[in-house]
Amino acid sequence: MTEYLTLDEGTIAYDLTGAGPLVVLAHGMGDSRHSYRFVAPVLAAAGYRVASVDIRGCGDSSTGWKGYSRTDIASDLVALVRHLGGPAVIVGQSISGGAATIAAATAPDLIVGLAELAPFTRKQSMDLGGLLRVKNHRAGTVQLAKVMMTGSLTAWLAYLDLAISAKPTDWGTERSRIQATLSQPEYGRVLQAMTKTTPADAGAQLANVRCPVLIVEGSADPDWADPRAEGERILADLPAGLGELAVIDGAGHYPHAETPRELLDLLLPFLGRTLAPATQPRNA
């Protein structure tokens, strides 16, 4: 059953399953908590209380918020953890990876670990060489630019077809669901607004993180010419010894939906080191 947290500007929707230490799953722009459909049940079975959240302006959360920056999303995540009773590990993908960084830096008493999936967590610079050298990176960048400039749903769907390199078995149904949601003008406006945000606010907080961090990149992610190098740059900006990097071969920008088994093989041991599960993992 979907639950709601009412904040000053709107409401945040989330599903809560399982019992034990808290894990919050936060998705990327233009998506919803449904993107963790393959991951959340396994984590709950492994002895964790799992909150799959629709970030502001997405899914069943309300639209019409004043801002959609990573700092804004971070404040919602912290409020949710406080509401549910922390501490928690946040698993954040893409824009929510950056938001998770800010949440951990600003609420170290509540956030005790971060798993960032294909995160935009630091200020980006144009990689002209990479754009010329890597076809998928060039194609993905072009489609995202169209979304940013015009709000084109066609361009976003074309981007997703590139970014989801290893298609889930239900991708046809999932793609149709995303298309139906974003065809509603209010959700399309949120997507366009999010593409215009910068991860510089998250990058400014990397040095202030004090909890363990797992960075997961997909080798086929079109958002970077070299996803591993992006992950290494994030690690370099964290305090020494806090971060670890894993690259899933063949995954794109959505490893939680594309390669959930490989992700869980990384995530369950990380959670075991940062949170004490109520029971031994049954699917590790």
Give me the pLDDT at residue 278, please: 47
Give me the pLDDT at residue 283, please: 42
Residue 169 lies in a domain: no
Residue 151 lies in a domain: no
- 3-state SS assignment for residue 21: coil
Give me the pLDDT at residue 131, please: 78
Give me the pLDDT at residue 126, please: 76
Counting the structural domains of the chain, the total is 1
| CATH number of the domain where residue 62 is located | 3.40.50.1820
> Looking at the DSSP assignment, which residues form a beta bridge with residue 244?
214
How do residues 27-59 score in pLDDT, each as one tens digit?
999 999 999 999 999 999 999 999 999 999 999
Residue 89 lies in a domain: yes
User: pTM for the complete prediction?
Assistant: 0.94
Residue 263 lies in a domain: yes
Residue 246 lies in a domain: yes
Give me the pLDDT at residue 191, please: 97
Give me the pLDDT at residue 29, please: 96
- Report the b/e string of 263-283 with b at 16+ CB within 10 A: bbebbbebbeebbebeeebee
Rg (CA), the chain: 17
Residue 133 lies in a domain: no
Give me the pLDDT at residue 277, please: 56
Domain extent, residue 65, equals 2-125+198-274
Q: Which of 262, 284, 260, 259 is nearest to 272 (CA)?
A: 284
Give me the pLDDT at residue 284, please: 37
Residue 86 lies in a domain: yes
Question: Which residues of the chain are modeled with pLDDT < 70?
Answer: 276-284
Residue 172 lies in a domain: no
